[in-house]
Amino acid sequence: MGRWEPGARERLQAAALELFATRGFEQTTAAEIAQAVGLTERTFFRHFSDKREVLFFGQQEFLQAFIDGVEAAPPETSPLEVIASALQAAASFFPDERRSYSRMRQSVIDQNPPLQERELHKLAGLATTVAAALRARGIGEPAATLAAESGATVFGIAFTQWIRDGETRSLAAIASDVLRELLDLTGAATASRPFP
């Protein structure tokens, strides 16, 4: 029987994304997704709690990549250097062969306000998780939260650039460039002393 074949989750994800992109997220049902790959609706719900989860599956692994990067940073590393380590670790979660999938996924999210809200919630959760990991390293407040929020912002900007049509650089390279831009901005602000 098809429902017990290996790779069912991946097949369901691929079919769902294709249907969401061509028919629309709201117009696609879980039953149609399952039927597209020869599985039952019941099998769909064994893998995903609802059709939104198809787009957001892997959240824990995504967060763990950042945590691994935080933990891998050498002791006595500045908060933003720890963020650089986290960004590099997280970039490995998005190899170049995943770019076309990520582009299509983002286009589906961009067309649906509730999915956009869920994506923003995911980034907020990322900042919260990374801030906790920074505090666990002994980085105090507000530095931990400032660094974590900055890291989430850098990731969001880098990811948006990475999925643009025609982009060929790796996510790691883009994230490094965006972080460097942030450091240049904060260095310029410090040098010009805009605050009393």
CATH number of the CATH domain containing 177: 1.10.357.10
Asked if residue 144 and residue 113 are part of one domain, the reply reads yes
Region for 78 from its dihedrals, namely left if φ exceeds 0, alpha if ψ lies in -120 to 50, beta otherwise? beta
CATH number of the CATH domain containing 40: 1.10.10.60
Per-residue pLDDT tens digits for 129-164? 999 999 999 999 999 999 999 999 999 999 999 999
The set of residues, in sequence order, having a beta carbon less than 8 Å from that of 163 and lying 6+ positions away, is: 99, 102, 103, 106
Q: pLDDT grade, residue 59 (50/70/90)?
A: confident
Asked if residue 109 and residue 14 are part of one domain, the reply reads no
For the chain, helix (H) and strand (E) counts, in that order, are 10, 0
Asked if residue 152 and residue 106 are part of one domain, the reply reads yes
Asked if residue 171 and residue 78 are part of one domain, the reply reads yes
Asked if residue 118 and residue 171 are part of one domain, the reply reads yes
Distance CA 174, CA 177 (A): 5
Cβ atoms of residues 90 and 133 within 8 Å? no
As for how many domains the chain has, the answer is: 2
Asked if residue 105 and residue 50 are part of one domain, the reply reads no
Distance CA 11, CA 178 (A): 34
Domain assignment of residue 167, given as a range: 58-192
Per-residue pLDDT tens digits for 110-130? 999 999 999 999 989 999 999
Q: Is the preceding peptide bond at 75 cis, omega within 30 degrees of 0?
A: no
